[in-house]
Structures are given as C-alpha cells and as structure tokens.
Amino acid sequence: MRANYDTLATTIASLTEGETDEVALMATVTCEVHHSDDRFDWTGFYRVTEPELLKIGPYQGGHGCLVIPFARGVCGAAARTGEVQLVPDVEAFPGHIACATSTRSELVLPVLNAKGEVIAVFDIDSDQPDAFTQEDADALTSILSQVFAR
C-alpha cells in the first residue's frame, strides 16, 4: 500500500482543524501517516525541547532514541539545517544514529511553526533501502506546513 497524499492531507486537515496543542497535532499526524503506507516502518516526531537538542515525541513503531543532539544523525541534520533529509541508505550517511537496526532508509522533514522556526523534525524510517522519493518529501512537507505553520 502506498500513501495517497491527497486523501491523507484531507484526512489530517479534518482531524486537526481547530487544534492548537502541538503534541496532540503530532500524535494525530504520526498515526495517520504511519498507517498510510507499507514502507513506513517507524514514524514520529523529535521535538526541539532546548537549544540544539531534540527529544522524542509522539511516534508509531518500535522504540526510538530518546535524545538526539542537532550535531548528530539524520534528524540532527534536518533540525540544524532546516532542510529535508532524504537518505536512500542510512549506512552511507555520516554520523547516522541507529535507533533501530532494521532501518535501511530514512526521510526526515523539519517542522516549522508560523514564525518559520524549527519546532521539531518528522522522522520516517523504512526497513527497505531507497524507500522514499522526492514526491514523498514534497507531499509530507506540505501536510506539515498546513498543520504546524498556520
């Protein structure tokens, strides 16, 4: 099963309408995205909780790392640069943090608030190599913007 991003965006918009609590929004987005696509093995947020530090937020899948500094890993790179990280082979990514040994590829998107500040990253891991496309990145970036940057 592959995500139908038009349907996913509509569903998430409907479920999150009027909600302002970031954790509630993250939990809802995580659940909907995780169950929309068979490639998504682990799906969740790492929240910016203090300068240069991410802590785990709502997620679906096996355990995740509890704390990730901006200076390390794919999630740290997304938070540090504010840029999407589309990684076809995590073993080839310098400084990759192996929170789960099953992860083969990863897509991490910065989450911006209405002021354009990075408040979190949205991390999707796959147990398949080269699982993610630019279409995935673009569609999910749009959904995150509609939910968190309003």
pLDDT per residue over 91-115, tens digit each?
Answer: 888 877 777 778 899 999 999 999 9
What does the pLDDT average to over 47-55? 97
Q: Is the dihedral of CA 133, 137, 138, 139 positive or negative?
A: positive
pTM, entire model: 0.96
Multiple choice CATH, 5-148, 3.30.450.40, 2.60.40.10, 3.40.980.10, 3.40.50.410: 3.30.450.40
Query: pLDDT tens digit string along 31-42?
Result: 999 999 999 999
Q: What are phi and psi of 6, to 5 degrees?
A: -65, -45
User: Exposure string (b/e) for 45-83, b if CB count within 10 Å is 16 or more?
Assistant: bbbbeeeebbebbbbbbeebbeebebebbbbbbbbbeee
- At residue 100, the pLDDT reads 74
- Whole-number percent of the chain with pLDDT over 70: 100
